[in-house]
Amino acid sequence: LVASIIGADGLSLDAAGEADPEATSLEFLLGSGGSPIGSLTVATTGPAVPLRLVAADPRGDVDVTFGWDVDPQIIAPKDVAIPCP
């Protein structure tokens, strides 16, 4: 999933440090071609879902926080040119 988001061939994922049994998350360092390109923070309690992704390369940068406990409030558009089937 992370490789498809970043679009990096040969993506590596290594723990940023020792795991703390009391911590609710763990940070991984993302690398490509032997160079660090960012970090991925993953939950260590419950499902191992991504919590934050920070990455950068010559094309740009990204800093995304995932809110798995939030119910998204998506409002349907009012001015739809073509209605959904």
Distance (Å, rounded) from C-alpha 83 to C-alpha 78?
10
Convert the pLDDT of each residue in 56-75 to its tens digit: 888 889 899 988 887 878 88
Contacts for 31-36 with beta carbons within 8 Å, 24 or more apart? 32/6, 32/8, 32/57
Q: β-pairing, 35-43 with 50-57?
A: antiparallel
Arithmetic mean of pLDDT, 38-57: 89
* Whole-prediction pTM: 0.68
pLDDT class of 1 with cuts at 50, 70, 90: low
Distance (Å, rounded) from C-alpha 3 to C-alpha 11?
6
Average pLDDT, the chain: 82
